[in-house]
Amino acid sequence: MSWRAFAIAAGIAVVAIAGAAAWRVGTRAASPRSSATAQQQATPVTAGTAQTRDVPIYVEGLGTVQAFNAVSVKTRVDGQITKVLFREGQDVHAGDPLFQIDPRPFEAVLDQAKAVKEKDEAQLQSAQLDLERYAQLLPSGSQTRQSYDQQKAQVGQLQAAIKSDQAQIESAQLNLDYALIRSPIDGRTGQRLVDVGNLVQTSQNVSLVTITQVRPIFVTFTVPADRRQGIRKAQAGGQLKVIAYALDDKTALADGLLTLIDNEVDVTTGTIRMKAQFANTDEPLWPGEFVNARIVLSTRRNVVTVPADAVMQGPDGPYVYVLRDDDTAQRRAVQVAASQDGISVIANGLNAGDRIVIEGQYRLTDGAKVQVGAPQQADLDWRATQ
Give pLDDT tens digits along the chain (386 positions).
444 544 455 555 554 554 544 445 444 444 444 444 444 578 899 999 999 999 988 999 999 999 999 999 999 999 999 999 999 999 999 999 999 999 999 999 999 999 999 999 999 999 999 999 888 888 887 778 898 899 999 999 999 999 999 999 999 999 999 999 999 999 999 999 999 999 999 999 899 999 999 999 999 999 999 999 999 999 998 999 999 999 998 899 999 999 999 999 999 999 999 999 999 999 999 999 999 999 999 889 999 999 999 999 999 999 999 999 898 999 999 999 888 888 999 999 999 999 999 998 888 889 999 988 865 443 344 443 32
Question: Residue 279: which CATH number?
Answer: 2.40.30.170
Regarding whether 63 and 3 lie in a shared domain, the answer is no
Regarding whether 335 and 295 lie in a shared domain, the answer is no
Regarding whether 223 and 201 lie in a shared domain, the answer is no
Of 301, 329, 350, which residue constitutes the final position of a domain? 301
Residue whose C-alpha is closest to residue 247's, from 61, 55, 57, 56: 61
How many CB atoms lie under 10 A from the CB of residue 217?
25
State which amino acid sits at residue 43. T
State which amino acid sits at residue 96. D
Extended beta strands in the chain, E state: 43-49, 51-74, 79-84, 91-92, 97-101, 180-182, 187-189, 199-200, 207-224, 241-245, 252-266, 271-278, 290-307, 312-314, 317-323, 329-333, 335-340, 343-348, 355-359, 370-372
Of 258, 280, 301, which residue constitutes the final position of a domain? 301
In a domain, 383, yes or no: no
Regarding whether 329 and 291 lie in a shared domain, the answer is no
Cβ partners under 8 Å of residue 89, min gap 6 = 188, 189, 190
Strand partners, 256: 242, 278
Q: Is the model's pTM score more than 0.75?
A: no
State which amino acid sits at residue 357. V
Cβ partners under 8 Å of residue 206, min gap 6 = 74, 75, 193, 194, 200
Regarding whether 201 and 79 lie in a shared domain, the answer is yes
Domain count within the chain: 4
Regarding whether 217 and 139 lie in a shared domain, the answer is no
CB 321 within 8 A of CB 254: no
In a domain, 306, yes or no: yes
Residue 29 to residues 17, 18, 33, 40, 41: CA-CA distances in angstroms? 19, 17, 7, 17, 19
Query: Residue 80 is part of which domain span?
Result: 75-209
In a domain, 337, yes or no: yes
Of 301, 331, 347, which residue constitutes the final position of a domain? 301
In a domain, 377, yes or no: no
SS3 readout for 282-293? CCCCCCCCEEEE
